[in-house]
C-alpha cells in the first residue's frame, strides 16, 4: 500500500538483513571511524599551525598603545565600555580621535553588529568608523572614530542648568532646526538602507566641534541597530540591560512584536520636543529599569499625561497590542481627559498653529502607521521657513558649550551624570509647577 506512505518513505529502499548486510554495516562503520581519526589528526595539525600563524600575526599587528596617546583622557563610560580622546603619536596629523574600548574580552554580538554596520554605512550624519584594533595580549577590541566634542545630552543639560540657575540661555531656534534636519537626514539614510537604529536619544546624537566638520551632527552607537530583513527580536527579549524608556515609542511599551521604522521617528520627536523646551517630554522617575517586560506603567502614564489617552479612531490597532488587556485594566481614559500635546507645548510658548508644532505633532503621532516618515519630515514646510537649516548647527557663532572633561578611571561617569541630569530636571520641573510622576 504505497499510496498510504509519505514520498520520503516511498523512496527509502527496503533494508536488507543477513550476513552480507552485517558485513556491509561493519565496513561502513570502520570507514566512518577512519574518517574521524583523519579529521582529528588534521585538526591537531591545523591548531598548531593556527597558533603559529596567530603568534606571527600578533607581532605584526598594529597596537593601539603604539599608535595613539590616550592615557588619562577618558571622556565617557557606560555599559558598552570606555571612550578616550586620542591623538596620533607620530603627529602625522593633529586630528583628534575617539577610541572606544569594548567592555569585556573578545567581541560581543552587539559589538559585531555595530562593527559590521559601521563598515558599510557612509553618510555625513552617521559616525564614521575609521579602524578596528584587536589586541592579542588581552583580547580587547578598540574602535577608532572621529572625535566629536559635543552631544545633545550635554547641550540640553547646559540650557536646563542655566534655566535652573535663573539665568536662562535659550537654545537658538535656527540651531534647533539645523539639529533636527541633520538627525532626520541621517536616519533617512539608515532607513533607506534597511537599518533601524532603535536607541536614539540625546546622548547618541554627537555634534562635531571646531574643525572641518564644525557643527555637523553624527548619529552614533549602533549597538542596538538591526537590519529590516533580519529577524527583529523585540527589545524586551534581549538580556535585561539598563535602558532609557523616555524615548520609547508607545507600541514598544505595549509589547509590539512587529515594529517598524516608526520607533525611530517617535524617538526623534521626543528629542525635538526636548530641544524646544530643554526638558525631556516623557520623563518618569524610574528612567533606568532592568527588566525583560516591555510594559511599563509609569512611562505610559507620563505619555498619556502629556498627549492624552489615544481615542479609538486615532489608533485602531491598539486593541491588537499584546499588552492591551493590561492597559485596559490599569488605565482609565477619563484620567487624561484634559491632557494634550497642544496644552503641553503652549506652556513652553510653542503655538499650536506654528509649523514647528505641526511637525512635532506628526512625529509624535501615537499610531505608528500614521506617524510621519523621515523622508516626509525632511520635506516639511517647517524647514522652508526662515531661518533655513545649515550644515553647521552653530551657524558661524562662537560655540558656547564647554568641552568634554576628562574622567577619573574609577569615576562612574554615566551613573553620576544621570543623577545630576535627573536632579536638575526635578528642580526645574517642580519650580515650573510640573512635578515628576
Residues with catalytic roles: 199
d(CA 413, CA 294): 27
Of 149, 153, 124, the residue nearest 208 (C-alpha): 149
Looking up cell 561493519 gives 26
β-strand pairing of 97-102 with 141-146? antiparallel
d(CA 181, CA 330): 38
Rounded (10°) CA dihedral 418, 423, 429, 433: 150
d(CA 379, CA 185): 11
Residues with Cβ within 8 Å of residue 396, at least 6 apart in sequence: none
Cα 246 → chain centroid: 13
d(CA 136, CA 133): 10
Looking up cell 526636548 gives 274
d(CA 159, CA 326): 38
Cα 215 → chain centroid: 21
Is position 11 annotated in a ligand binding site?
Answer: no
d(CA 115, CA 280): 30
Binding residues for ATP: 100
Known binding-site positions: 100
Amino acid at each position: 500500500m504505497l499510496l498510504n506512505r509519505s514520498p520520503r518513505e516511498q523512496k527509502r529502499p527496503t533494508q536488507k538483513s543477513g550476513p552480507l548486510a552485517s558485513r556491509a554495516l561493519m565496513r561502513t562503520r570502520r570507514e566512518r571511524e577512519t574518517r574521524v581519526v583523519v579529521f582529528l589528526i588534521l585538526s591537531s595539525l591545523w591548531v598548531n599551525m593556527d597558533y603559529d600563524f596567530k603568534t606571527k600575526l600578533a607581532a605584526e599587528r598594529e597596537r593601539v598603545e603604539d599608535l595613539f596617546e590616550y592615557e588619562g583622557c577618558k571622556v565617557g563610560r557606560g555599559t558598552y565600555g570606555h571612550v578616550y580622546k586620542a591623538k596620533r603619536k607620530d603627529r602625522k596629523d593633529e586630528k583628534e580621535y575617539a577610541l572606544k574600548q569594548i567592555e569585556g574580552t573578545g567581541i560581543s554580538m552587539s559589538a559585531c553588529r555595530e562593527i559590521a554596520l559601521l563598515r558599510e554605512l557612509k553618510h555625513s550624519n552617521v559616525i564614521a568608523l575609521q579602524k578596528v584594533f584587536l589586541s592579542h595580549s588581552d583580547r580587547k577590541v578598540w574602535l577608532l572614530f572621529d572625535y566629536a566634542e559635543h552631544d545633545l545630552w550635554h547641550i540640553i543639560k547646559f540650557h536646563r542648568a542655566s534655566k535652573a540657575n535663573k539665568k536662562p540661555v535659550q537654545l537658538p531656534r535656527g540651531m534647533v532646526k539645523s539639529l533636527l534636519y541633520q538627525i532626520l537626514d541621517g536616519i533617512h539614510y539608515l532607513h533607506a538602507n534597511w537599518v533601524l537604529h532603535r536607541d536614539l536619544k540625546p546622548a547618541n546624537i554627537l555634534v562635531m566641534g571646531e574643525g572641518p566638520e564644525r557643527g555637523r551632527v553624527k548619529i552614533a552607537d549602533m549597538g542596538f541597530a538591526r537590519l529590516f530583513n533580519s529577524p527583529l527580536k523585540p527589545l524586551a527579549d534581549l538580556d535585561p540591560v539598563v535602558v532609557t524608556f523616555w524615548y520609547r515609542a508607545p507600541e514598544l511599551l505595549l509589547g509590539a512584536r512587529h515594529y517598524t521604522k516608526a520607533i525611530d521617528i517617535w524617538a526623534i520627536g521626543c528629542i525635538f520636543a526636548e530641544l524646544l523646551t530643554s526638558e525631556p517630554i516623557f520623563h518618569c522617575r524610574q528612567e533606568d529599569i532592568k527588566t525583560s517586560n516591555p510594559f511599563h506603567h509609569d512611562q505610559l502614564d507620563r505619555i498619556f499625561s502629556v498627549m492624552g489617552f489615544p481615542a479609538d479612531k486615532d489608533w485602531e490597532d491598539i486593541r491588537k497590542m499584546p499588552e492591551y488587556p493590561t492597559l485596559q485594566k490599569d488605565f482609565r481614559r477619563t484620567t487624561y481627559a484634559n491632557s494634550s500635546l497642544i496644552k503641553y507645548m503652549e506652556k513652553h510658548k510653542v503655538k499650536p498653529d506654528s509649523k514647528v508644532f505641526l511637525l512635532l505633532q506628526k512625529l509624535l503621532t501615537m499610531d505608528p502607521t500614521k506617524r510621519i516618515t523621515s523622508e516626509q519630515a525632511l520635506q516639511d514646510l517647517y524647514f522652508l521657513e526662515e531661518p533655513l537649516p545649515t550644515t553647521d548647527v552653530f551657524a558661524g557663532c562662537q560655540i558656547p558649550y564647554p568641552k568634554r572633561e576628562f574622567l577619573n578611571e574609577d569615576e562612574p561617569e554615566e551613573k553620576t551624570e544621570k543623577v545630576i541630569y535627573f536632579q536638575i530636571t526635578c528642580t526645574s520641573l517642580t519650580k515650573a509647577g510640573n512635578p515628576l510622576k
